[in-house]
Amino acid sequence: MVKKNNKLILIGIGIIALIVFMNWESPREDTNTCNPVWNPDSRYDSVTFCTSEEAIAKAAEVGCDGFHTHIQDGETIFMSCENHEDLDINVMSTY
């Protein structure tokens, strides 16, 4: 009788684990909370992005290399150009 009860307990635990696993939601890619606004009135907004790829693409477009990062509201944001000096020379001088 004890062995039969153990099997029932294990089956019950397995069923519960299966239910929990099937209802488990993995993080979705569309829940990105990145808001790459440097400052609503800033000229830097045009070179501020959520990904390094976006920042690098814009850097190539404006004539500088790479990107640099800042932490904003606990999130990493990416700015074109390797530093602000390059950014000011290549981008901000056009404003």
Longest dimension (CA), the chain: 84
- 2, 10, 58, 94 from 91: Cα distances, Å: 77, 65, 10, 6
CA distances from 4 to 1, 8, 29 (A): 5, 6, 45
CA-CA-CA-CA torsion sign (88, 42, 78, 70): positive
pLDDT at 51: 92
What residues does each domain of the chain span? Answer: 2-94
pLDDT, tens digit (0-9, with 9 covering 90-100), for 2-46: 566 788 888 888 788 777 777 766 555 545 567 776 666 677 788
Q: Report pLDDT for 56.
A: 94
Q: What's this model's pTM, rounded to 2 decimal places? A: 0.59
50 compared with 28, residue with greater pLDDT? 50
Closest CA to 34 of 4, 70, 69, 73: 73
Residues of the chain with pLDDT > 90, as a percent, come to: 24
- Residue the block writes with tokens 């190539």: 60
Please tell me the predicted confidence (pLDDT) of residue 40.
61
Segment 82-86 mean pLDDT:
89
pLDDT of residue 57: 94
